Amino acid sequence: MKILMLGWELPPHNSGGLGVACLNLSKSLAKMGADIDFVVPYEAEHHLKYMNVLSAMKIDPLIRYGGAYESKEIEVKKFHKTDTKQVLSIRDIQKSYCEFVERYLMDFKPDVVHAHDWLTYEAGILAKKQYGIPLVAHVHATEFDRGGENGGNPLIHEIEYQGLIWADKIIAVSQATKNIIVEKYKIPASKIDVAYNGWTSPDDDYHYDGSSYQYLENLKKKGYTIISTVGRFTLQKGLFHLMRAAARAISFHPKMVFLFAGDGEQKDELMRMSADLGISQNVIFTGFIRGKQLRDIYSISDIFVMSSVSEPFGLTALEAAHHGNALIVTKQSGVGEVLHSILRYDFWDEDKLAGALVNIAESPALVDSLRDGIKHEYARISWDDVAKKCVEVYDEVRKHKRNRF
Amino acid sequence: MRSIVLYLHMHQPWRLKHYSIFSVDHDHDYWTEKDWYAGTNNERIFKKVAEKSYRPMLAILEKCINTYAGFKFSISITGTWLDQAEKWEPELIETLKRLVKTGRVEIVAETYYHSLAFFYDREEFEAQVKAHQDKIHKLFGVKSQVYRNTELSYNNELARWADEFGFKGILAEGWDKILEWRSPNFVYRPEGCKNIKLLMKNYRLSDDVAFRFSDKHWKEWPLTVDKYIQWLEAATLRGPLINLFMDFETFGENIWEDTGIFKFFEHLVYRWDRDKDNNFLTVSEACDAAEPTAEISMPWTVTWADTERDLSAWLGNSMQHEAMKSVYSLKNEILASGDPKIIEDWRRLQTSDHPYYMCTKYFNDGDVHAYFSPYDSPYDAFLYYMNALRDMRGRLDGITRRKK
């Protein structure tokens, strides 16, 4: 089966969970015999044996988000035939991406187009409209998630809506995401299947040597509990609530340190807030980290908090679990639907979060139960199962196509 | 003669409200949930179950007692149930009093607080059994003679204790691994006991009603009275006693009225009663009716719960052990305080429902819905419970300081 995957990023050029999910899903699909062409908007070497990675444009991976995430002038190294005008915004990049897909479809006719998130939906719609190729829209996040407690960008809403309307079938990464698609976009529930993201244990030889964060190691020896959160500092992540809960917890149990790993538009405000609350001594900002440094953060911390206002899935929670953290996750996070050995709270319930933090910090029996429990749970969630689900969906949309054309 | 020995169990725990760490040391009321719709609102739940089960089923039982001269049954009622009924639904107790007065309804003994005290503290355990007997005597004017332990938990040691305490009989699960080729339809003698007799639950016939009655995927669904009577009669070929032990709430709460469960029960009593080869016996009468057929030994603890029939739903993980160990470790100081309020709170925390809410074993089979809990997760249940114990600790320290 020939699959045209439309994506926006693949590791190591990823800013978050989307790229990781796309890579692992493709790997499992290839194992099941799928022949995959994977389109990314930027130019970079991906040495992957199991699929072809196609670059839609000759731009650097760093600037694929155009004006959406940064305001720097975009440098265009070399143009494809289609990239004839200067690329300035994310809309321009999307347009060029579409043109690339259009040219691809003149030569190749995949059985299914599998599009990941709104950035690629226009290209998916094009394939569907012009060539009748069945379209599967994979929703890793909606604009309602990204917008946090605000509404989000109306243009993105429109693109997302069109993509979901045109799609023959939609795959949502959690029931929570499916509910948003049904409630906000009024898409019939029968058109949406839920496929939770999977987990692949890293196969490298990482081991924690305690060298990265000596200061934190020393605090731990003095009886401090280390609590971490990892992600972009945006509205979606609910970090203000976490900060206020941290202050409440520290007032009750002072031996706590909170690690905020990541970066984003709320960073300055979060720092100011920690000072206003009088807990800047107990709050550490690591900046954006990846690789060993990130894994050392997971290794050193005792508790991982996912404070998201709306989190379609939440891969970082599984990563934290893999490194032996007890998890506290909002009820608005999809990952909570597949894990049981966790504590859950509503993102606004700062009191409950604070209480849970103190209780875990003070009760070894609770920490052990959470850690032991989660060990048996996260590893069971497999990408092969997600791939199986996708193949079922592919078969369904292809049958559907034969009936119609 | 073929005899149905019907025994029903009535219990409601005092659910602990969502008791945060920030409540410790200033809020000493663990049981009053202000939010009416919260899953931990004891009053709302008691009234709901009264509406769906206690009131209608007691009415049917009373009607059967008044209509069929041969109808009898036994019932155990926990102290925590009685206390809540006195507070919120006192007419239920009046109905029970009328029933007991007929002499055809026997009350079975147990711990006042539906606790696991037998496994932790023998002295506290006995105090709770006596407190329950006193309460029953005070309300109903009778002395209970047959004992059942919390969740029908049973082992040889318990039987020996009940024998020495002077009970005439004791109830247990008729589990295959214990009975092997033997039938639960006879009176047995617990190993090493002189006088006490053992009645064992016929779990197949009991569970046909208590669990499978409303199960549309069951190949015997729908269960008619005709069919069930055939099974009962066939079962008596292996002994005269059919020990039907079940939760009172089976009728109306676990199995809803619209399944026809009430009509089924009433019609069953009518049909069984009209055949002169049949009768009903209370648990004491069943013990008196025959000498023990054989000795039975249960060296390890058997309960009526789950497919494992053990205590793993209550004492299966480290949180449950920690919680129970912590609550019982307070005993000496609590009792020495002489403060009735703190003693009552402490005993309410011993109710087996609390560790049950901390059970995690169903995560392994993915059968999350098999367990009912008013909390978000077993971890929350543990956290609130330990917070309440923290507060108890603080209250004890306060009392000690005042004494000095």
Residues B127-139: pLDDT tens digits? 999 999 999 999 9
Active-site hit among B33, B106, B124, B151: B151
Whether B379 and A366 lie within 8 Å, measured CB to CB: yes
**What's residue A380's pLDDT?**
83
Give the orientation angle of helix A154-166 with respect to helix A175-185, to 10 degrees: 100
Q: What is the mean pLDDT of residues B106-118?
A: 98
Residue B121, phi then psi, degrees to nearest 5: -155, 105
**What's residue B29's pLDDT?**
97
Chain A residues near residue B20 by CB distance under 8 angstroms: 351-352, 355
Contacts of A135 (CB under 8 A, 6+ apart): A112, A113, A115, A124, A125, A127, A128, A166, A167, A168, A397
Count residue pairs from A and B with Cβ separation < 8 A: 63
d(CA B111, CA B79): 8
Chain A residues near residue B38 by CB distance under 8 angstroms: none
**Beta bridge partners of residue B198, listed in sequence order:** B170, B188
Q: What is the mean pLDDT of residues A130-137?
A: 95
Range with lowest mean pLDDT among A143-157, A365-379, B116-130: A143-157
Q: What is the mean pLDDT of residues A283-287?
A: 93
Nearest to B21 among A252, A342, A369 (CB): A252
Q: Name the strand (E) or helix (H) holding B205.
A: helix B203-210
Would you call B21 exposed, middle or buried from its count of C-beta atoms within 10 A (0-12, 13-18, 19+)? buried
Range with lowest mean pLDDT among A63-72, A200-209, B315-324: A63-72
**What's residue B98's pLDDT?**
98
Q: Is A389 helix (H, G, I), strand (E, B) or coil?
A: helix
Please state the pTM of the whole predicted model.
0.85
Give tens-digit pLDDT for A49-66. Answer: 899 999 988 877 766 655
Assess whether pLDDT exceeds 60 at residue A125.
yes
Whether B322 and A343 lie within 8 Å, measured CB to CB: no
Confidence class for position A46, pLDDT limits 50, 70, 90: confident
**What's residue A149's pLDDT?**
60
- Residues 347..386 of B with a Cβ closer than 8 Å to A: which? 360, 363-364, 368, 376-377, 379-380, 382-383, 386
Nearest to B360 among A252, A341, A356 (CB): A341
**Beta bridge partners of residue A227, listed in sequence order:** A258, A303
Chain A contact for B69, CB < 8 A?
Answer: no
- First CA to last CA across chain B, in angstroms? 68
ipTM value: 0.78
- Among chain A, residues having any CB pair with chain B shorter than 8 Å are 248, 252, 340-344, 351-352, 354-356, 358-359, 363, 365-366, 368-370, 372-373, 376-377
Give tens-digit pLDDT for B250-299. Answer: 999 999 999 999 999 999 999 999 999 999 999 999 999 999 999 999 99
Residue B151 annotated as catalytic:
yes
**What's residue A288's pLDDT?**
87
**What's residue A80's pLDDT?**
43
Confidence class for position A402, pLDDT limits 50, 70, 90: low
Contacts of A378 (CB under 8 A, 6+ apart): A199, A318, A321, A322, A339
Give tens-digit pLDDT for B235-257. Answer: 999 999 999 999 999 999 999 99
Query: Percent of chain A scored above 90 by pLDDT?
Result: 67
Give tens-digit pLDDT for A337-375. Answer: 999 999 999 999 999 999 999 999 998 889 988 998 898
Q: Is B273 helix (H, G, I), strand (E, B) or coil?
A: helix
Q: Is A139 helix (H, G, I), strand (E, B) or coil?
A: strand
Give tens-digit pLDDT for A103-122. Answer: 999 999 999 999 999 999 99
d(CA B126, CA B112): 10
CA A55 to chain centre: 22
**What's residue A86's pLDDT?**
47
Give tens-digit pLDDT for B52-111. Answer: 999 999 999 999 999 999 999 999 999 999 999 999 999 999 999 999 999 999 999 999
Q: What is the mean pLDDT of residues B301-318?
A: 91
Confidence class for position A263, pLDDT limits 50, 70, 90: very high
Q: What is the mean pLDDT of residues B391-396?
A: 96
Query: Percent of chain A scored above 70 by pLDDT?
Result: 91
Give tens-digit pLDDT for B164-184. Answer: 999 999 999 999 999 999 999
Q: What is the mean pLDDT of residues B22-34?
A: 94
More confident residue, A230 or A65: A230
* Length of chain A (residues): 405
Assess whether pLDDT exceeds 80 at residue A72.
no
In 10 A of CB A403, how many CB atoms?
Answer: 7
Whether B379 and A365 lie within 8 Å, measured CB to CB: no
**What's residue A148's pLDDT?**
61
Assess whether pLDDT exceeds 80 at residue B321.
yes
Q: How far is residue A114 from each of residues A121, A190, A275, A314, A384, measured CA to CA in Å? A: 9, 18, 46, 21, 17
Assess whether pLDDT exceeds 80 at residue B160.
yes
Tokens representing A380?
Answer: 């069971």
**What's residue B225's pLDDT?**
97
* Length of chain B (residues): 404
Give the mean pLDDT of chain B.
95
Assess whether pLDDT exceeds 60 at residue B370.
no
Tokens representing B370?
Answer: 């098999």
In 10 A of CB A65, how many CB atoms?
Answer: 19
Assess whether pLDDT exceeds 90 at residue A271.
yes
d(CA A46, CA A63): 17
Nearest to B363 among A252, A352, A373 (CB): A373
CA B10 to chain centre: 6
Whether B21 and A359 lie within 8 Å, measured CB to CB: yes
Distance to chain A for B379, nearest Cα, Å: 7
Q: What is the mean pLDDT of residues A217-228?
A: 94
Whether A340 and B383 lie within 8 Å, measured CB to CB: no
- Contact between B208 and B250 under an 8 Å Cβ cutoff? The reply is no
- Contact between A234 and A264 under an 8 Å Cβ cutoff? The reply is yes
**What's residue B371's pLDDT?**
67
Residue B154, phi then psi, degrees to nearest 5: -160, 140
Query: Which residue in this structure is represented by tokens 């993102």?
Result: A347
Give the mean pLDDT of chain A.
88
Would you call A379 exposed, middle or buried from its count of C-beta atoms within 10 A (0-12, 13-18, 19+)? middle
Angle of CA points B232, B238, B241, to nearest 5°? 60
- Contact between A263 and A288 under an 8 Å Cβ cutoff? The reply is yes
Nearest to A341 among B21, B363, B380 (CB): B363
Please report the domains of chain A, with CATH numbers, ordered by start residue: 2-198+382-404 (3.40.50.2000), 214-378 (3.40.50.2000)
Give start and end residues of each alpha helix (H) in B250-377: 261-274, 283-289, 318-329, 331-337, 340-348, 353-357, 362-365
**What's residue A201's pLDDT?**
79
Assess whether pLDDT exceeds 90 at residue A212.
no
In 10 A of CB B279, how many CB atoms?
Answer: 18
